[in-house]
Structure 1
């Protein structure tokens, strides 16, 4: 800035005053290399982090594939075991059901003469007819395979779905009563 002195009779001499800016140029010169170095290090760290994340992702993908393969193998193995066990249980259940029907048939047959005496020959004949029917059905049950029985059940449901739902409801009720009374 230039100023002049206003004294009368004096000569004026221009003077200059310099003002300093708030930024020190020497500090800016020394901070710039450190800033560049810090920025460079940060970018390197960021690149390393990205590379590490990519490596972890690749490793996780490989492990997931291995675990998926193991799970598939175990699932196939367990599925085979479950099928075998279910088949064994179905055959056992079929045999028990057949034996139960035969036992019931014998009991009804044994009671037929008593029904003849107490209620008449007509009711005894009903009991003998029911006994024969139970024996025939038990024999049919023994001769059929589990797969044939399953197909027969599917066919029955297709032909009369209302009856099938009713039977399922009654069976569910009886099973629930059986489990609640055993507690």
Structure 2
């Protein structure tokens, strides 16, 4: 009887291990998908904020162009309007791109200019570290 229980347990152990492994893989896959969806959502929100900020800067530059016309002359106002149009163009360009386009552009940059990509990554890492450090300093 005891031998039968041990034999049954030994026979069922591989199936239980396989079931546990499958369950773990499924859970990990679901968590990975949730993380990717969350990251995509944050990236989309960031894109909306960035284009909104660019639109606002463009509008302010356009409004300032009229004042520049009056104070300094139309030649300088033209420069302000050109800057506003350029900023507006950047905003429209960002709005027209999907997140996957940005990812593909980043991959292309890394392939074509790995040194530039490493420099950009180092600079971003430095900025993020400073932001985190300043956030923890405020709480201390």
Query: Does TM-score exceed 0.5, indicating one fold?
Result: yes
Shift of 1:65: 1.3
Bigger-Rg structure (1/2): 1
CA pair 73-164 structure 1, distance change in 2 beyond 3 A? closer
TM-score scaled by structure 2? 0.70
Higher-RCO chain (CA-CA 8 Å, sequence separation at least 6)? 2
Paired residues, number = 136
Structure 1 or 2: more helix by fraction: 2
- Equivalence for 2:93: 140
RMSD: 3.4
Equivalent in 14, 26, 31 of residue 78 of structure 1: 31
Q: Secondary structure at the match of 1:182?
A: helix
Aligned residue in 1 for 2:110: 157
Structure 1: 5+ residue runs without aligned partners?
1-47
- Normalising to structure 1: TM-score of the pair? 0.56
Output one character per residue of 1:110-139: Cα deviation in whole Å (capped at 9) or x when no partner: 555677788887776554433322211110
Greater alpha carbon shift after TM alignment, 80-89 vs 60-69: 80-89
Q: Which residue of 2 aligns with 1:65?
A: 18
Q: Which moved more, 1:69-78 or 1:101-110?
A: 101-110
Asked if 1:105 corresponds to 2:58, the answer is: yes
For structure 2, the 5+ residue unaligned runs are: none
